[in-house]
Amino acid sequence: MAHIEVDDIHVYYGNIRALQGISFKVEKGAIVTLIGANGAGKTTTLNALSGILGLREGSIHIGDTNISDFMPHQLIPKGIVHVPEGRRIFARLSVDDNLAMGAFTRNDKAELSKDREYVLEMFPRLRERLDQTAGTLSGGEQQMLAIGRALMSKPDVLLLDEPSMGLAPVLVEQVFNSIIDINKTGVTCMLVEQNAYMALQIASYGYVLEGGRIALEGVAQELAKNEEIKKAYLG
């Protein structure tokens, strides 16, 4: 059964139509990517999924639960965490406090310290900087913190919005490798990317968004070979 099922959602900013009927499925344990140009509606789709934006039509299901009308903070207990575009770490809080905020809803102290260890092992740079203000981290470290913070809630589904944004190629590789590692532990990943080449390499299935509609979908490796996509997004 599909883990996330999005059915014909329409989203508006005021009177401007941003998404006009998008449907897709994410299977349990998969990495699915949503690619497309600037303004195609990728971030809007994720924001609608996590409840930041309301739906005008359509529905979103996680397993059997209809989450169409959920507020953003209700999604964490459902096992979904959204790493927003531009990282959005709490710049004036310490790295440690940022991680603590990721685990805000949890009360299981023992499990929590195990997950904290896991995150700090995955991103050793964060351990060195636990007491530092998060705003003083470099771009790559901030992205690691954003992902680490999200993992602190022990999610089943990770929604990632442009994790490669503004990072040097070496760091992009590092971030994508950690996404693969996270996925191997059984976390379903939904990856929104402009860097279509990298995204299609690690994803199993992909959707191409264009003007608020799904223009194309398919197995990631085949999409990567598709001539149109090569021309439009892979250069």
Partner 1 sequence: MQKYFDIEFWRRVTYVDVTLWLMRAAVIIVVVWGTIGTLIDGRYSNEQWFDFVMFGLTMGGIYALVALGYTMVYGILRLINFAHGDIFMTGAFTAYFVASPLGKSGFLEENLLISMIIICLTAMVTCVIIALTVERICYRPFRSVRSFAPLICAIGASFFIQHSFRGMYGSSVRAYPDVEFFDKLLSIGSFDFPMIQPVVILAALGSMTGLYLIVMKTRMGTAMRATSEDRDTASLMGIDVNRVIIFTFVLGGSMAGIGGVLYAFVFKQVYFFMGFFPGIKAFSAAVLGGIGNIPGAMLGGFFLGTVESVGPALFLDGLGIVAPYQLRDLIAFTMLVMVLIFRPQGLLGERVSQRA
Q: Does 104 bind partner 1 (CB under 8 A)?
A: yes
Which residue lies nearer to partner 1 by CB, 56 or 73?
73
Cβ(177)–Cβ(198) below 8 Å? no
Cβ(166)–Cβ(182) below 8 Å? no
Q: Does 76 bind partner 1 (CB under 8 A)?
A: yes
CB of 100 to partner 1, least distance (A): 6
Cβ(171)–Cβ(139) below 8 Å? yes
Q: Does 75 bind partner 1 (CB under 8 A)?
A: yes
Can you tell me which of 8, 65, 66, 73 binds partner 1, judged by CB under 8 A? 73
- Identify the helix (H) or strand (E) that includes residue 221: helix 220-225
Question: In the window 52-71, what residues touch partner 1 (CB under 8 A)?
Answer: 52, 71
Catalogue the E-assigned strands of the chain. Answer: 2-13, 16-27, 31-36, 57-62, 65-66, 80-83, 157-161, 188-193, 205-210, 213-219
Instruction: From residue 63, give the alpha-carbon distance in Å to each of 82, 115, 175.
Output: 17, 24, 28
Which residue lies nearer to partner 1 by CB, 93 or 120?
93
Question: In the window 155-194, what residues touch partner 1 (CB under 8 A)?
Answer: none
| Total chain residues near partner 1 (CB under 8 A) | 24
**Contact residues: partner 1, CB under 8 A:** 50, 52, 71-73, 75-77, 81-82, 84, 88, 90-93, 97, 100-102, 104-105, 149, 153
